[in-house]
Structure 1
Amino acid sequence: MKYLIVGLGNIGPEYAETRHNIGFMVLDYLAKKYEASFDSGRHAFVAEIKTKGRTYVLVKPTTYMNLSGKAVSHWLNSLKLPVEQMMVITDDIALPYGKIRIRTKGSAGGHNGLKHIEQTLGHNNYPRLRFGVGDTFHKGKQVDYVLGKFSEDEQIDLQGLIEKTADSIIAFGTIGLERTMNQYNTK
């Protein structure tokens, strides 16, 4: 079985390790753990890992967040996969820091990357993993917040949270979406 895992983020050193790039950070961890490396592909950096009899194609769109749907559409079609075998990883300010919320479908919730994916696919019925980054920003400072780096306090737990998120992605392919949701959605 093959799965497409799309981590949302923005390319460029100025965006590295920002809250908005948590999707990239999780995929970077998975690639390192399974000794894979990213190569330039169409609309994305792409790596492939194999574990537990499954293949995971890791995609980091190079289109910038607001055009993420281009990469999603291309790689779904290129790999000939149904959307049920794809998971999109994104940051979410509506969730407290560190909470993971996996869903079978859902609204974009104001997230521009998810909005573009929904527009491109023509629906919102695809699995997604939202990583809570919290909402500790002043009114009107949302963009600065998500494009900012994790605070020192947040960085204490960040690596463990990234590892847990990565484990949930592997579980998605091995035990299925429903069981993964039951096991990893934090209360």
Structure 2
Amino acid sequence: MGKYSWLWVGLGNPGPRYRFTRHNFGFLVLDELASLKGLKFSQGAYQSLVSAYKDAFLVKPQTFMNLSGEAVAPWSRKLKISSERILVIHDDLDLPLGRLKFVPKGGAGGHRGVKSVIDALGTKEFPRLKLGIGRPPQGVTVREYVLSPFSESEIPLVKKVLERAVEALDYLLEHDLPKTMSTFNRPVD
């Protein structure tokens, strides 16, 4: 293993148009971590913004969501980090807003960013931090919904989720994934 023991990847789409959208929840978590810990992201290789926190290397792919794996796979090779130590942080339609959930592995569940990472790594054996966004209301397509910003009424809960996610990431650096799962896989208060 190299200098870093974790590769944390926040999924999202680059640019101001997508900044506060539901699909950018992964980016928002890493942005919150950076804000609270005084970190800065800089332009890195493989079309990504990068930073580091303790022994975690942080990546925000700038490839657009559906091509996220194009940044993740080369970073994992360069840093010599196995898939079991690549935490992908992303939005999840099957969880309600206010829930975050660590899982040790799994399929894409229809999430194209996660599918891209699976395809690029050649495995489903990597942990995720799923951030609930709930299902779109009647008459709104999934695409429209995930690319829409959080509503004003949702912002206080989004802030709580972001704070809780940063707390969970800090905890993960000191504990194993099962202990982190048992501590944080519940609704945000």
TM-score of the pair, normalised by structure 2: 0.93
Matches within 5 A, 1:24-63: 24-42=27-45, 43-50=47-54, 55-63=55-63
Q: Indicate the larger mover: 60-69 or 80-89.
A: 80-89
Partner of 2:5: 2
Q: What percent of counterpart residues are identical?
A: 40
C-alpha contact 2:11 2:25 (8 A) present in aligned 1: yes
Post-superposition offset of 1:139: 4.4
Partner of 1:85: 85
C-alpha contact 2:73 2:121 (8 A) present in aligned 1: yes
Structure 1 runs of 4+ with >6 Å offset: none
Within 2, Cα distance between the matches of 1:171 and 1:85?
15
What number of residue pairs does the alignment pair up?
183
Q: Deviations over 1:72-105 (max 9, x none)?
A: 1011111111112220000011111111111000
Post-superposition offset of 1:15: 0.2
Post-superposition offset of 1:34: 1.5
In structure 1, stretches of 5+ residues that fail to align are: none
Post-superposition offset of 1:140: 5.4
Within 2, Cα distance between the matches of 1:159 and 1:128?
20
Q: Secondary structure at the match of 2:60?
A: strand
Partner of 1:157: 157
Partner of 1:76: 76
The CA RMSD over aligned residues, in Å, is 1.2
In structure 2, stretches of 5+ residues that fail to align are: none
